[in-house]
Amino acid sequence: MLLKKGVAVFIIEYTIKVSCGKGKWNMSEKAKIKVNDDGPYLVKGEVEMVDAEGNVFETKKSFSICRCGHSNNKPFCDGSHRKVGFESEPRAD
């Protein structure tokens, strides 16, 4: 867990897999995960998201994953980051 201005940020404990079916990996069609400033992770593309026990979450081709830790619909975002004033603007090196 990380702290930023008094807000807890939880590291995602879910696995996201990208496949083209039949157990084969398709690296030509990448899924994209965008880290939104002060908001959720936006996931686009064909992905399978599973919990720590391997159970599959039902997802769409585009969905948001909570980063603030306050969503009532975890692991998905419900917009709570706006209510709690979540702030985070990470940048890739």
pLDDT, one tens digit for every residue, the chain (93 residues):
444 444 444 444 445 555 555 555 555 568 899 999 999 999 999 899 999 999 999 999 999 999 999 999 999 999 999 999 999 999 998
Indicate the pTM of the whole model: 0.68
Angle at 39 between CA 9 and CA 26, to 5 degrees: 95
pLDDT at 78: 98
Cross-strand pairs, 32: 44
Separation CA 26–CA 6 (nearest Å): 41
pLDDT, tens only, 11-31: 444 455 555 555 555 555 688
Distances (CA, A) of 33 to 51, 84, 85: 18, 23, 22
